[in-house]
């Protein structure tokens, strides 16, 4: 394996896996929706020079509108809630719950699109994953003082991401991926800032010295440059040079990285029951992935279907 492939896999595995902890650090200082909106707006601004330099034709009005509303579904409803939830739950829990996007997307493809047929082994794996989620959410939740609302919000976000990703796959989108990403990031960032203002978050902004402390600055830089730009570009490059089945492994490697960083590095609390539930959920995702790959129908999670951390 060449050095480019190694670096690209490292970017999608490690940079995206570490994004959950970066979000956790950021929302401890900044209001949730303001932090999310600022991240996406900054990422869109950083991508602007590359968008202007691209030789692809400009998107039509219809394509632009499709990029905007799918971006809102993906990044506002799908991932914006993660910023809100991570003020209240550990980053590793948010990562594990959001990884269920893989399962929801597969179920939607089987039941709504009818592009795949559910086999007995896959059904058992899906049921195991569903059985593991109450353990992740409820294991020692009373002792840790956790509410059920934030985990449910992340699961709802995973469902929204699945719906948005399937919509992107079947509607008319801009031909250039950079145009799509730029429109989605910019529209979602502006909307999240508007939501932040409507909720009165701007009046609760911390002192300037706190905003420009090294930890939130480093977390924001990591999310904008590392997760949104380098990780996304690496994923695109891998899709062009590697089988989709190998690239899709990021969907369950990211939560493992997030768990290690959250529990070991950030000392986030977890109970043995919760960790067992997390392993059950991740194991079910791996099982479905392997069964689908062995059936020769693996075309899962193209770039539009993989959560952008």
Cα(213)–Cα(233) distance, integer angstroms: 28
Sign of the CA dihedral with 308 first, then 118, 93, and 149 last: positive
The predicted structure's pLDDT at residue 251: 67
What angle is formed at CA 81 by the lines to CA 94 and CA 203, rounded to 5 degrees? 125
Given a cut of 80, is residue 146 above it in pLDDT?
Answer: no
> What percent of the chain is modeled with pLDDT above 90?
25
Contact at 8 Å (CB) between 101 and 285? no
> DSSP string of 202-233?
GGG---HHHHTSHHHHHHHHIIIIIIIIIHHH
Tens digits of per-residue pLDDT, 22-59? 999 999 999 999 999 999 999 999 989 988 887 778 89
CA contacts within 13 A on the Cβ side of 292: 30
The predicted structure's pLDDT at residue 183: 92
Given a cut of 90, is residue 236 above it in pLDDT?
Answer: no
Of the candidates 179, 189, 302, the residue with the CA atom closest to the CA atom of residue 245: 302
Residue 302 CA, distance from chain mean position? 14
Tens digits of per-residue pLDDT, 242-254? 655 466 667 667 8
Q: What is the mean pLDDT of residues 5-12?
A: 86
Number of domains in the chain: 1
Domain that holds residue 248: 3-305
Given a cut of 80, is residue 269 above it in pLDDT?
Answer: no
More confident of the two residues 173 and 236? 173
Sign of the CA dihedral with 8 first, then 9, 10, and 13 last: positive
Tens digits of per-residue pLDDT, 176-187? 878 888 899 999
Contact at 8 Å (CB) between 245 and 297? no
Retrieve residue 143's tokens. 């002792």
Cα(234)–Cα(236) distance, integer angstroms: 5
């Amino acid at each position: 394996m060449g050095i480019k492939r190694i670096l690209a896999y490292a970017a999608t595995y490690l940079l995206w896996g570490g994004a959950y902890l970066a979000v956790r650090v950021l929302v401890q200082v900044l209001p949730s929706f303001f932090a999310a909106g600022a991240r996406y707006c900054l990422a869109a601004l950083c991508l602007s020079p590359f968008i202007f330099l691209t030789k692809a034709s400009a998107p039509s009005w219809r394509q632009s509108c499709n990029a905007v509303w799918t971006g809102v579904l993906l990044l506002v409803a799908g991932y914006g809630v993660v910023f809100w939830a991570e003020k209240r739950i550990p980053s590793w829990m948010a990562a594990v719950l959001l990884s269920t996007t893989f399962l929801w997307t597969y179920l939607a493809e089987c039941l709504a699109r009818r592009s795949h047929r559910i086999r007995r082994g896959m059904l058992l794996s899906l049921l195991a994953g569903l059985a593991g989620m109450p353990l992740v959410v409820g294991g020692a939740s009373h002792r840790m003082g956790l509410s059920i609302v934030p985990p449910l919000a992340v699961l709802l976000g995973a469902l929204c991401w699945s719906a948005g990703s399937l919509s992107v796959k079947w509607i008319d989108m801009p031909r250039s991926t950079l145009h799509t990403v730029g429109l989605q990031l910019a529209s979602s960032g502006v909307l999240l800032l508007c939501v932040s203002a409507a909720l009165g978050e701007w009046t609760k902004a911390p002192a300037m010295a706190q905003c420009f402390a090294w930890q939130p600055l480093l977390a924001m830089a990591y999310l904008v440059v590392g997760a949104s730009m380098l990780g996304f570009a690496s994923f695109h490059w891998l899709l062009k040079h590697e089988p989709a089945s190998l690239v899709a492994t990021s969907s369950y490697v990211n939560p493992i990285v997030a768990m290690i960083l959250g529990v070991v590095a950030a000392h986030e609390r977890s109970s043995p029951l919760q960790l067992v539930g997390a392993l059950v959920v991740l194991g079910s995702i791996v099982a479905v992935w392997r069964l689908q790959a062995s059936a020769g129908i693996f075309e899962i999670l193209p770039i539009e279907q993989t959560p952008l951390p």
